[in-house]
Structure 1
């Protein structure tokens, strides 16, 4: 694998790179993408990426810079190690490379520009209505993901929200803090506050998912079992894995069904290293696929045959 130079690494789009680490913006305004800080726990987004300049600024710590500066802090490693990680991501993912749009900017001056503008209220996702699923476009999207409507109805809602003065209607998956994960064919985001979703079925077994479509897929795979469904934890972001450790360790066994991309495998290994007797990696069930829902999409017919034979995850 060819190692990127610093100049080549700085062309990796930070929004794409953060997405590969499972950090998605809470709100977007023009070129400014606002995130909950990847460096710490917070409830109000204070980490901003200016996509035009391809630089970041964290108002909580008063620091900013380019993707290399970010990598040394996030991964707690040297510049050489960051370049290795960025080279691996470039070779094993679909990260897009964007040439700098403004030349002559230093890291320090760019980071100041990234932090200059004030947050605008029209950049916030504002949920204005919540109701049972009813829109045909959402039904079609759910069917594409191979989720039966009765399962989606049980756990999801239809949410109207306003962003930049425009109203959109999406699928909403509620979290424990009153926010929603928001999805449609053309939209992926979340409303504040961002949090986990814990479903307590009063068992001592827990299954952990990265996203809610994997959770819904698990419900389908185990739909015909006679015993109660295990407790389920949907992280909604890998950033919540560490923060959910106390909750997870209240259970005798924790079955990990995280995504099989680099970030998901990294966090699975982290949990296994906490306690290999308690934590179990079950992702081999959908080996060769990105996540459990991707497996379901490609194996719906064989699943139905397996269910008739009593097979389950």
Structure 2
């Protein structure tokens, strides 16, 4: 069989190709297939393939592209070597789809030579924001055990568009004007991606990986008369090292990162910077993947903690 060209390779169905690599979707919503990222370690699916457009996007890194972009990154190889692999894949007849599917044309966005690949990807466009009030979002907060009054203090209800469709989700703003976007069926972020700093004029700071852990912290300590510390929500572990200069200004840095491999490794790295300044607080939710997971599964423990005045 003659080696595939790039255009022929892009006609391979990405969902089927990932299945051949033993990566399977965690959930499917219309044309969107959500995966635990095959490009990095994570616990919550934030890698999406739009099967209709035949493109992918990794919300944890902000990168995406077509099958060629994915394959060269996944296999850490050149385009030429990838085409050899894909030719072998097609020859094995695992699955191959022509550019039309059930009479619909598969759309591929043309790319100009030298154009920034990230800028050519479909973008989330925030359309409007307001106080949280949508019933389905309030119900979702309830499932995550976050009181609406606490969520409304820090979050917004956000309308945004993606792939020509409009969605309404919970939005958590960062300091650069972007949002972390969540609902029961969506996880993403709008550009620019950045940290969120809650300044309570404290000499100590608590560091969270995601905003649901931060909201859980607020829920656990909701009866406090004064804020315990400033709060830094990274919104991505990649911002931990970039935030080191900020963290060094504090007397104490309390680490409440996720307890998956990436979170544990990041916590250990920060402890190695200065064990007198950086303190691992994740033992509070030991046995759970993060603080929100503890809150969801240990409501009884939370009620006992609040009666005893126990706080993080």
TM-score (norm 1): 0.72
> What SS does the aligned partner of 1:16 have?
coil
| Residue of 10, 33, 56 corresponding to 1:33 | 56
Within-5 A mapping of 1:84-95: none
- Deviation, 1:49, is 4.5
Query: Structure with the greater relative contact order (CA < 8 A, sep ≥ 6): 1 or 2?
Result: 1
Which stretch of structure 1 is more off in the superposition, 15-24 or 144-153? Answer: 15-24
Within-5 A mapping of 1:84-233: 102-104=86-88, 117=111, 123-233=122-232
- Deviation, 1:306, is 1.9
Aligned to 1:18: 39
Query: What is the RMSD computed on CA atoms of the aligned residues?
Result: 3.3
The answer (yes or no) to whether the contact 1:260–1:290 under 8 Å persists in 2 is: yes
- Deviation, 1:235, is 0.2
1:308 aligns with 2:292: no
**Any idea what the Cα deviations from partners look like across 1:85-119, whole Å, max 9, x if unmatched?**
xxxxxxxxxxxxxxx994337xxxxxxxx997466
| Rg larger for | 2
| Residue of 42, 49, 67 corresponding to 2:74 | 67
Instruction: Check 1:155–1:290 CA distance in 2 against 1; reply closer, same or farther (3 A cut).
Output: same
Instruction: Check 1:37–1:136 CA distance in 2 against 1; reply closer, same or farther (3 A cut).
Output: closer
> What SS does the aligned partner of 1:293 have?
helix
The answer (yes or no) to whether the contact 1:181–1:189 under 8 Å persists in 2 is: yes
**Any idea what the Cα deviations from partners look like across 1:229-287, whole Å, max 9, x if unmatched?**
31000000001001000111110110100000011011111111111111111111101
- Deviation, 1:33, is 2.7
Distance 1:32 1:215 in 2: 32
Structure 2: gaps spanning 5 or more residues: 1-17, 24-34, 78-83, 90-107
Instruction: Check 1:160–1:26 CA distance in 2 against 1; reply closer, same or farther (3 A cut).
Output: farther
Aligned to 1:74: none
Within-5 A mapping of 1:294-305: 294-305=293-304
**Any idea what the Cα deviations from partners look like across 1:287-309, whole Å, max 9, x if unmatched?**
11000000000112321232122
> What SS does the aligned partner of 1:268 have?
helix
The answer (yes or no) to whether the contact 1:151–1:220 under 8 Å persists in 2 is: yes
Aligned to 1:48: 64
The answer (yes or no) to whether the contact 1:26–1:189 under 8 Å persists in 2 is: no
Which stretch of structure 1 is more off in the superposition, 120-129 or 193-202? Answer: 120-129
Which stretch of structure 1 is more off in the superposition, 155-164 or 14-23? Answer: 14-23
The answer (yes or no) to whether the contact 2:36–2:42 under 8 Å persists in 1 is: no
TM-score (norm 2): 0.72
Instruction: Check 1:307–1:36 CA distance in 2 against 1; reply closer, same or farther (3 A cut).
Output: closer
How many corresponding residue pairs? 253
Instruction: Check 1:252–1:26 CA distance in 2 against 1; reply closer, same or farther (3 A cut).
Output: farther
- Deviation, 1:68, is 4.2
